[in-house]
């Protein structure tokens, strides 16, 4: 992969191109979302990631409109929330997301979390299959350019593939130093799925950015710990979705293409542990 800037394209299995860094909006206050998205687009991001549950889709849509950048130059993702699982429900939830965003298609739509056996017992797989069937139909009808998953571990993907007609193109999972998911990333990539990283800086109030190893490596490259974290993700062929509402950081989080981490640095970062983040196990969550 020859990535030279925040919008260098990565080709999904269906040929659709996705800019290699996305602007994340998880935990962005709805009241400031439009402004933040506009700032991000002005800074140069063309890939914006939101979700129904973030309650800021309206702000994302407004930021896009105000930016003046033509819709087709942007890559917009949203996600199906857990209370909307099921065939009919997925179609209705997709339409409602589009309306909140004020868009007439999405570039990418993801199932936000797998229905798990802890909550749904034997019905879990069928619920995921039903949601996916609706996603496939929306994709085939041209309403979404690519479809995928979020928080599905390789075993959830394999189960889904027993009934899926179309293979998911993307899986967005939590990835940051301290919660590296290294084996899962390799397994998903081996399936031809692009892995995206949510919480790539360790999330709100994380200690990733204060970690002494991260600081040492950052100093060696004249970069910030946030940039090292994002670069470590990119060098694994994973697409990071950093969130910030501050212009200075929004810019910093794009400036990742003038340095390279050595193999030893990559390994050192991957072996950090206990650095917080959400570290949610999709088989164990109760939502
Ligand atoms: P803020 O929006 O106030 O800048 P993640 O992307 O892992 O969810 O983490 C985002 C968290 O890290 C947010 O709390 C965000 O706060 C903060 N953040 C984003 N970019 C940077 C940066 N370059 N340096 C320090 N903190 C950052």
pLDDT digits (tens, 9 = 90+) for 192-250: 999 999 999 998 877 999 999 999 999 999 999 999 999 999 999 999 999 999 999 99
Ligand 1 touching residue 111 (CB < 6 A):
no
As annotated, the active-site residues are 54
Ligand 1 touching residue 227 (CB < 6 A):
no
Q: Are the CB atoms for 85 and 130 separated by under 8 Å? A: yes
Annotation: CATH topology of 9-270: TIM Barrel (3.20.20)
pTM exceeds 0.75: yes
Would the pLDDT of 112 be above 90? yes
E strand or H helix at 18 = strand 17-19
Distance (Å, rounded) from C-alpha 96 to C-alpha 73?
23
Reference 45, options 253, 235, 229; nearest CA is 253
Ligand 1, atom 1, residue with closest C-alpha:
244
- Given the CA of residue 27, which atom of ligand 1 is nearest to it? 8
Task: Give the pLDDT of residue 274.
Answer: 76
Q: What are phi and psi of 134, to 5 degrees?
A: -65, -40
Both structure tokens of 159: 């189960």
Section 49-66 average pLDDT: 98
E strand or H helix at 77 = strand 75-80
Section 71-95 average pLDDT: 98
CB atoms within 10 A of CB 49: 26
**Cβ partners under 8 Å of residue 82, min gap 6:** 53, 112, 113, 115, 287
Ligand 1, atom 4, residue with closest C-alpha:
244
Supply the mean pLDDT for the chain: 96
How far, in Å, from the CA of 110 to the mean position of ligand 1? 23
Ligand 1 touching residue 244 (CB < 6 A):
yes
């Amino acid at each position: 992969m020859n990535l030279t800037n925040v919008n260098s394209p990565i080709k999904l299995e269906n040929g659709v191109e996705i800019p290699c860094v996305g602007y994340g909006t998880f935990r962005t206050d709805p009241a400031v979302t439009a402004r933040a998205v506009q700032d991000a687009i002005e800074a140069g991001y063309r890939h914006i990631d939101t979700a129904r549950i973030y309650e800021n889709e309206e702000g994302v849509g407004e930021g896009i409109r105000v930016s003046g950048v033509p819709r087709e130059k942007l890559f917009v993702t949203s996600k199906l929330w857990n209370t909307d699982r099921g065939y009919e429900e997925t179609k209705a939830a997709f339409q409602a997301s589009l309306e909140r965003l004020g868009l007439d298609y999405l570039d990418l739509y993801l199932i936000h979390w797998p229905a798990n056996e802890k909550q749904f017992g034997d019905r879990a797989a069928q619920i995921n299959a039903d949601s996916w069937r609706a996603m496939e139909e929306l994709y085939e009808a041209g309403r979404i350019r690519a479809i995928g998953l979020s928080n599905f571990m390789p075993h959830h993907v394999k189960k889904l593939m027993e009934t899926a007609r179309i293979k998911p193109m993307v899986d967005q999972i939590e990835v940051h130093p301290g919660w590296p998911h290294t084996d899962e990333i390799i397994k998903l990539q081996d399936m031809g799925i692009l892995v995206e990283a949510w919480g790539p800086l360790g999330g709100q109030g994380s200690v990733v950015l204060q970690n002494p190893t991260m600081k040492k490596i950052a100093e060696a490259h004249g970069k910030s710990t946030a940039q090292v974290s994002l670069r470590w993700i990119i060098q694994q062929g994973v697409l990071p979705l950093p969130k910030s509402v501050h212009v200075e950081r929004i810019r910093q989080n794009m400036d990742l293409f003038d340095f390279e981490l050595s193999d030893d640095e990559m390994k050192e970062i991957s072996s950090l542990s206990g650095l917080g983040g959400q570290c949610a196990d999709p088989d164990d969550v109760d939502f």
